[in-house]
Amino acid sequence: MSSRDGFDICVIGAGVIGLAIAYELAKKYKNQDVSIVILERESSFGQHVSSRNSEVIHAGIYYPTGSLKAELCVMGRELLYSHCEQFGVAHQKTGKLIVAKGTEAYALAKVKENAIANGVLDLQLLDRVELQKLEPNIEADMALHSPSTGIIDSHGYMQSLLRLAENLGVQFSPYSRVEKIDTDADAFVVHCQLDENRSPEHYEFNCQQLINAAGLEAQSIAQSVSAIPKNTIPKLHYCKGDYFDYRRRNPFSHLIYPMPEANTTGLGIHATMDMSSQLKFGPDTEYIEKVDFRIDGNKAKAFAENISSYFPGIDAGDLKPAYSGIRPKLSGPGEAAADFEIQEESVHGLSGLIQLFGMESPGLTASLAIARYISNRVDL
């Protein structure tokens, strides 16, 4: 942290969304003597939700038409592919198959209808024979093929965002935990606790524009803002998703998804791969009370049962616990899926404060579009 008194813009959280926002704002205010800082409590960027996901670049198929999730995913996907091409971030347009049984034909047609309404126009309906040609190890009667779905090296992507932002003058401040935020006449006073080995241990500074992109902690940061009406802060539900690695050779060349769960709580235990073609299955959905990333290895049996509905060759013994992630959901068990919630002055009454809540999937895909959306609302 520099010794100056303040910054024009402060972004809290160096996950993929905070990094994308800082980069977009740095481009907007290039050569304009606007100072931007990203505060991150960890030693480095992307240690939380952004490094515990499927790393899928989603097409934008399932989200309700007109929702922020739908609009920002479709726009973000294109921005993300261009960014990857331009800055050499590893990615692959693998394509994805949503596989279904004959009894699910109507539901699958509805998925396609929704995708078209969202502007996803490249889906193709495949019959059993066409599907078998593409993926002989899959057992299903039909599938929707999404050629614009892909995978990305999310760490490499975040690294590129940070490097680009820093090149434009953004200051990255790791080991800086935001403790509370006071509101002054025309500025926010941000109170930080620095890593215990750093001096000084406490630090506070002013900023004019504050962006709360703290992921699972967005609500607790919001609670710490003096003068904010507490009833504007949405309830947070932790929804955990576990992944299991497949011990054998990857038998698929596409990402394979079953039909989505009720209320699209999750997209079903799907088969996805990383850039080294390591196949993994997940995530499941489990609402939990507190953050806990442990995986119960006994779940392998239930996973295998679920996966066998489209991949009969699966054996529980081939599944090895890999990692888990926690979705910062705004909808509780059994409730309809909630949209991203991006709150501005019109909601909480504080000029210069933007807060992002419920940034679950497709937040990685949508990150650059979210950043543009925020940038359009920042006016120094």
Ligand X SMILES: Cc1cc2nc3c(=O)[nH]c(=O)nc-3n(C[C@H](O)[C@H](O)[C@H](O)COP(=O)(O)OP(=O)(O)OC[C@H]3O[C@@H](n4cnc5c(N)ncnc54)[C@H](O)[C@@H]3O)c2cc1C
Residues that bind ligand X (CB under 6 A): 12-18, 39-42, 46-50, 52-56, 58, 177-178, 213-217, 221, 241, 283, 325-327, 359-365
Cβ-based nearer residue to ligand X, 22 or 142 = 22
Nearest approach in angstroms of CB 348 to ligand X is 18
Nearest approach in angstroms of CB 352 to ligand X is 18
Nearest approach in angstroms of CB 200 to ligand X is 17
The three-class DSSP label of residue 306 is helix
Cβ-based nearer residue to ligand X, 53 or 118 = 53
- The single-letter code of the amino acid at 352 is G
Cβ-based nearer residue to ligand X, 98 or 359 = 359
In total, the chain counts a number of residues equal to 380
Cβ-based nearer residue to ligand X, 142 or 259 = 259
The CA dihedral of 184, 187, 189, 195, to the nearest 10 degrees, is 180
The three-class DSSP label of residue 91 is strand
Kind plus residue range of the DSSP H or E element containing 373: helix 363-375
Sign of torsion over alpha carbons 303, 308, 314, 317: positive
Is the bond leading into 328 cis (omega within 30 degrees of zero)? no
What is the distance between the alpha carbons of residues 27 and 58, in angstroms, rounded to a whole number? 25
Nearest approach in angstroms of CB 29 to ligand X is 21
Cβ-based nearer residue to ligand X, 352 or 363 = 363
Nearest approach in angstroms of CB 80 to ligand X is 9
What is the distance between the alpha carbons of residues 273 and 284, in angstroms, rounded to a whole number? 16
Nearest approach in angstroms of CB 283 to ligand X is 4
Cβ-based nearer residue to ligand X, 78 or 141 = 78
DSSP bridge partners of 204: 191
Cβ-based nearer residue to ligand X, 101 or 180 = 180
Nearest approach in angstroms of CB 38 to ligand X is 9
Nearest approach in angstroms of CB 185 to ligand X is 24
Cβ-based nearer residue to ligand X, 142 or 214 = 214
What is the distance between the alpha carbons of residues 182 and 190, in angstroms, rounded to a whole number? 7
DSSP bridge partners of 206: 6, 189
Cβ-based nearer residue to ligand X, 136 or 200 = 200
Contacts of 157 by beta carbon, 8 Å cutoff, 6+ apart: 16, 80, 83, 84, 89
Nearest approach in angstroms of CB 67 to ligand X is 14
Contacts of 78 by beta carbon, 8 Å cutoff, 6+ apart: none
Sign of torsion over alpha carbons 88, 89, 94, 100: negative
Contacts of 36 by beta carbon, 8 Å cutoff, 6+ apart: 7, 8, 9, 10, 11, 22, 25, 26, 29, 165, 169, 170, 171
Contacts of 37 by beta carbon, 8 Å cutoff, 6+ apart: 1, 7, 9, 10, 11, 170, 171, 172, 173, 207
Cβ-based nearer residue to ligand X, 16 or 143 = 16
- Vertex 120: Cα angle to 115 and 126 (nearest 5): 75
Nearest approach in angstroms of CB 117 to ligand X is 20
